[in-house]
Amino acid sequence: MRIMCMRVVRDVVIVTVFIFIGGFIVGFATQGVFTKESITVACLLQGTLGFCFCGCLTIENRWKHLFVVALGVWLVNMLWPLLTRELSVLVWVGGVFMVFVPMVVGSALSMLLVKIPKPKEEKDEQKE
């Protein structure tokens, strides 16, 4: 089974937008007076929802696909610290945590919500 590149790009965009919306909601709701913990919780929850949504869209090879999507989301989210020269080991490790924990939880939720269809068995006439 291969990973479809356009689906990966689509899902990276979806999860990144979900995470952005989580941060935006916290910033808007607190009128700019927020803590790092509130942003972290919002991004974890929205990331989980984003990965769950993408997992529901993906039927074949879900875990492998979402792992590749998580790598893409991590790379996209590391662009800002890299461009502002604030990339440190702590930011790099925190970025891995902030992406892969929601990926695992969101994938598990999508497995509960949408069952993977079993392949249909071919009849004897179709095998020949």
> pLDDT in tens for each of the 128 residues of the chain?
566 889 999 999 999 999 989 888 888 888 877 777 888 888 899 999 999 999 999 877 888 999 999 999 998 888 877 777 777 777 777 788 889 999 999 999 999 998 876 766 655 555 55
The C-alpha atoms of residue 121 and residue 128 are separated, in whole angstroms, by 14
**Alpha-carbon Rg of the chain, whole angstroms?**
18
- Confidence at residue 94, expressed as pLDDT on a 0 to 100 scale: 77
The C-alpha atoms of residue 113 and residue 99 are separated, in whole angstroms, by 21
Would you say 77 and 20 are in contact if contact means Cβ atoms under 8 Å apart? no
> What pTM was estimated for this model as a whole?
0.81
Alpha-carbon distance values, 114 to 7, 50, 94, 108, 110 (Å): 18, 15, 30, 10, 6
**In the structure encoding, which two tokens stand for residue 71, read together?**
């790598």
Alpha-carbon distance values, 87 to 3, 15, 43, 102 (Å): 30, 21, 19, 22
- Confidence at residue 88, expressed as pLDDT on a 0 to 100 scale: 75
